[in-house]
Structure 1
Amino acid sequence: MHSKTIHFQTYSSIRIGPKVDVYIVEDTKDVKDFSIIGGANNLLVGPNPPKLMMLSKKYDYIYIKENKLHIGGATPSGKIASFCKKNNIANFEFLSHLPGKLGGLVFMNAGLKEYEIANHLIDVTLQSGKKQKNEINFQYRKTDINEMIFEATFSLQYGYDQNKVKMFHAMRKNQPSIPSAGSCFKNPPNDYAGRLIEAVGLKGEKVGDMAFSTQHANFLVNYGNGTFEDAIFLIQEAKKRVKEHFNIDLECEIQILEKGLQL
């Protein structure tokens, strides 16, 4: 049982957050009632976060056994994409353009359009044991998993498709390259969060060094010295304006970790 000091200003993709002692989980019996973090690619950490834990690097692995793909919860998406390319494995091409670690990708059913991590999933290993795919409620960018994900296994199909990689690259072209936490809001049914944010006049809106990107309005970007408070102000303003104009409740895709804050 040990912890590691993480400075979220450098560790998180949005480059915001304090230095925090994060508890490292080596085994299922080590799990505490703490908030779970992974690669911090879709995370906004406040000045007073709850207690945090993350999987140890021993869960950073990927291998083939009995015609299944076994992937540890701490395995980065880039490593998965590279392994699949090297071994001519299909269905994971989209991960070459989707940052994150396997646990977080499964937890939020990450994907690009209809290409989702759940599509070829067989089962997941949680603290409470193994769960089959049909025991988990997978929806658009969310699941009902509320435990740490130690491993997931996937069906194995061969035929890595370079054309899909090009297609996914083109899909990501309009997304900003400066620090962000990915999509700020989930797309509401039959609409797009980016369109709604732009329609209420917030595309390019800047508060301090935080802004809704001029490239894609659903990306909250940090121009250098952005703060948690400025990020929250913009998130709340977008929710308020979209509710007033369209009567739509935008739901955050970004995970916000701050004691006592409800959005």
Structure 2
Amino acid sequence: MSSEKFKIIDFSKFSSIKIGPKIKVKIIDEENYNNEFLIGRAANTLISPNAKNLGILSDKYKFIEYKNGYLKVGGKVKNRVLYNFCKRKNIGGFEFLSHLPGTIGGSIKMNAGVKNEEISNNLIAVKTLNGWIEKKDILFNYRYSNINAPVFEALFEIKRNYDPFLDKYLKNLRKNQPKKPSLGSVFKNPKGDFAGRLIEKTGLKGEKRGDIQISKVHANFFVNLGEGKFEDMIYLINLTKKRVYENFGIKLIEEIKII
């Protein structure tokens, strides 16, 4: 059994929205996991002041191996790092990762993607607590998988070469996203509609609470203008859900995790 190790993380600096306390986080591997919530890069996770039982993958899961048309990737590898690796090696199917924050493990668990480009498309199998699980035994949907354990490693099949035109197209799609610290899309898009459009129609675009603002650039992004607090974010999330339901009868579902 591996010995338990911890590190102190200041989430006001580590989190992509720059909100959260300074807390002790357990370093996780395949031997010592005990139902901790894995934070990845805290790219789509809002950390409360009272968050407990958090974990982060060991650095031994920060690797990329490329051999015989397959990629084996550690769960702690950053999305951007894998994108850069694939671009250099002329590997296609990962162009959409260029502007997605977070890590491969977290991205697989939420089936991250842009439009029809999703991380599950080229996936063959993932390694979790009980060894390798094939993709056919995992349920993937829009921004969802039924994986409820850490993703330590992933195996991908290479189906095509890197596509610079697709890369440019996907990057252009991101131009309407704010540059200020955020957690990405706060809500999942309802079927046949867009959460950002619905929020904008309620008149909430640009709404502020403290230093958290529903972005003037894209209404499904809530940005930190400097000193944003957890409570301000929660207030605007609840207000948005209430207004959208009152106006359209649609219940918005968070894409982010709140811990």
What is the TM-score of this pair, normalised by structure 1?
0.96
Corresponding residue for residue 118 of structure 1: 120
Percent identity of equivalent pairs: 49
Distance 1:73 1:114 in 2: 22
Distance 2:226 2:104 in 1: 28
Pair 1:12-2:15 in alignment: yes
* Deviant stretches of 4+, over 3 Å: none
Distance 1:54 1:74 in 2: 8
Distance 2:168 2:26 in 1: 39
Q: Which of 84, 87, 90 does residue 85 from structure 1 map onto?
A: 87
Deviation at 1:158, TM superposition (A): 4.0
Unpaired stretches in structure 2, ≥5 consecutive residues: none
Q: Which of 224, 227, 233 does residue 225 from structure 1 map onto?
A: 227
- Alpha-carbon displacement from aligned partner over 1:189-244 (angstroms, at most 9, x marks no partner): 00100011111111000111001100000001000000000000000000111111
Match for 1:101: what amino acid?
T
Secondary structure at the aligned position of 2:156 is classed as strand
Deviates more, 1:10-19 or 1:157-166: 157-166
- Alpha-carbon displacement from aligned partner over 1:50-97 (angstroms, at most 9, x marks no partner): 310110111011111343110000000111011101111011011112
Deviation at 1:39, TM superposition (A): 0.7
Secondary structure at the aligned position of 1:29 is classed as coil
Secondary structure at the aligned position of 1:245 is classed as helix
Secondary structure at the aligned position of 2:55 is classed as strand
Deviation at 1:157, TM superposition (A): 3.0
Distance 2:102 2:22 in 1: 20
Secondary structure at the aligned position of 2:145 is classed as coil
Distance 1:157 1:83 in 2: 16
Distance 1:134 1:248 in 2: 32
Distance 1:83 1:35 in 2: 28
Distance 2:130 2:238 in 1: 36
What is the TM-score of this pair, normalised by structure 2?
0.97
Deviates more, 1:207-216 or 1:154-163: 154-163
Q: How many residues align?
A: 256
Distance 2:35 2:99 in 1: 32
Pair 1:23-2:7 in alignment: no
Corresponding residue for residue 70 of structure 2: 68
Distance 2:223 2:256 in 1: 12
Secondary structure at the aligned position of 1:211 is classed as strand
Corresponding residue for residue 178 of structure 2: 176
Corresponding residue for residue 260 of structure 1: none
Corresponding residue for residue 32 of structure 1: 34
Secondary structure at the aligned position of 1:165 is classed as helix
Secondary structure at the aligned position of 2:98 is classed as helix
